[in-house]
Amino acid sequence: MKPDLAPTLKTSAPHKKGAVVEYLWNIYVNRVLEINSEKVFLQAFADDLGLVTAGSVRKELEINTSEALELILLTLVELKLELSVGKCQGLVRHQKRKGQNIFNRKPIFKINGQSI
């Protein structure tokens, strides 16, 4: 018979497996959500983040989005977290006004030099 070397902790209250991880995630994600501003809206969904930015022309949209992505990346680095750029996706919606073409080409968004 092998001795049990792992310490045992008995509790009387039931606990959900992984609950501590959820609390830690909330603490971390709150730091990232502080980036919200007039130009940037971040929303957390479970362990994902949604980013909404705007621009009246393509270049402005690219700049606003790139600045927001850079802030997110820097905050995650401070928290010793990594961003999986390969899993990041971008969605662009534009409304064409009469006689105006907003995008001559698709906007380019980059995180740490990698296009998404």
Query: What is the tens place of the pLDDT at every residue in 59-113?
Result: 999 999 999 999 999 999 998 988 888 888 888 887 766 666 666 788 889 888 8
Whole-angstrom Cα distance, residue 70 to residue 64?
Answer: 10
Per the model's pLDDT, the better-predicted residue between 24 and 115 turns out to be: 115
Closest by CA position to 70, among listed 53, 57, 55:
53
Would you list the domain boundaries of the chain?
Answer: 19-95+103-115
